[in-house]
Amino acid sequence: MCYGEIVTDALAAPSGVFDYPPADRVRHGPGQVAALPEELSRLGTRRAFVVTGRSLATKTDVVQRVEALLGERHAGTYAGIAQHVPSGGVAEATRQARDVGADVLISVGGGSPVDAAKLVALALAEGWTEPVQFTAHANRGARGDPPRPLLPHIAVGTTLSAAEFTGAAGVTDEQTRFKGGHRHPAMVPIVVILDPELKLATPWALWAASGIKALDHAVERLIVPGRQPFTSALCVEAIRLLLEHLPHSAADQPGALARRGHGQVAAWLSLYGYPNVPTGLSHALGHQIGAFCGVPHGITSCVTLPPVVRHVRRTSPAALAGVARAFGLSPDVTTAPDIGEQIAGRIAALVAQLGLPGRLRDAGVAEDQLEPLLANTVHELQGRGLASEDEIRGLLLVAW
């Protein structure tokens, strides 16, 4: 794939290649989950298998509502997906989906259930049965076509992770605690349902942290090499919506339903078009901090994004122009040499306003875990040229 680049020279035309994700439909707005039966009929499917997490299934009525909507087409539910998608849980979900003859997968939840359902679809197509098969070649690179078509996947999201909009899925090796991943266009959910009524059941800390994750998507995709005009415009709007609505979207605040709906749109915009423009250093750090130390993904973004912005200011200041514009700051980095500090400071202030931790030590990471995290992050970023080993070590020390 050829990645485009925004060209700042007024005399040079931007150029690149953009591949549209093969998603079929996005339904967004209050009450949209009620369209599930219609979508199953449109897809011609009759054996729906639900993939979700234990908390959502036992502490809310969201999963039960989905199952009731499926009616006689509900073939089964696996509610054992844990954060960071441990390989054993995905292998068990795959076995159960195969045993019931599923012809469509429905993920309900945040990024982990959504990624797990993508992996179940991939595993069924590949014929995988053992956890090691999910991790053996999980190098986050593009995969070749599997021997059979993937089952269709309808994603019903309950956070702002935006995993619904990618054909990539992370998976954690439970022996090494390294988080790898798989990517293929057919792994993109064919239908996405963004219903803010379901999001009101999401606890504030999880909701707010996933909002910072969406902010991380948008900021990183504005600063990585290969950024494109189309996705940059979406990411600027995503940042605007998140800054306006996220701080006031607690379930008990006036207008919470509308604000969570705007947050969903922001998350959609923040990651649409992946992998034409990938995420970067903050996400790589977050993948490994999350899997190795058990830190939720949204919290990792709270910790890693401000130091990464400061790092980019030192290494590639012109890349911050779009981010500065999105934050309402001057995009001219020559007249605002502290622009990286200004942006990082605003992100850190938002994290604190939301009541979320801003340091690794506050998220439960021990200092003696930094060296293994360094090794895992260097391994993930191999060949991407985003930072040297010494620079990554410095980022971890600052974040701690």
Reduce the secondary structure of the chain to three states and give it as a string: CCCCECCCCCCCCCECCCCCCCCCEEEECCCHHHHHHHHHHHHCCCCEEEECCHHHHHHCCHHHHHHHHHHHHEEEEECCCCCCCEHHHHHHHHHHHHHCCCCEEEEEECHHHHHHHHHHHHHHHHCCCCHHHHHCCCCCCECCCCCCCCCCEEEEECCCCCHHHCCEEEEECCCCCCEEEEECHHHCCCEEEECHHHHCCCCHHHHHHHHHHHHHHHHHHHHCCCCCHHHHHHHHHHHHHHHHHHHHCCCCCCCHHHHHHHHHHHHHHHHCCCCCCCCCHHHHHHHHHHHHHCCCHHHHHHHHHHHHHHHHHHHCHHHHHHHHHHCCCCCCCCCCCCHHHHHHHHHHHHHHHCCCCCCCHHHCCCHHHHHHHHHHHHHHCCCCCCCCHHHHHHHHHHHC
Instruction: Give the tokens for residue 114.
Output: 């959504």
Domain boundaries, the chain: 25-199, 204-399
- In the block, tokens 């949204």 appear at 298
Q: Which fold has domain 204-399?
A: Dehydroquinate synthase-like, alpha domain (1.20.1090)
Model pTM score: 0.91
Nearest to 191 by CA among 28, 11, 389: 28
Q: Which CATH architecture has domain 25-199?
A: 3-Layer(aba) Sandwich (3.40)
Query: What distance in Å separates the CA atoms of residue 135 and residue 65, rounded to the nearest whole number?
Result: 33
Enumerate residues 6+ apart whose C-beta is below 8 A from 321: 8, 331, 332, 333
CA–CA gap between residue 188 and residue 163 (Å, rounded): 9
pLDDT means per 10 residues in the chain (400 residues)? 45 82 94 98 98 95 97 98 93 98 97 96 96 88 90 97 94 89 95 96 95 97 92 97 97 95 97 93 91 90 95 89 90 76 96 96 92 90 85 92
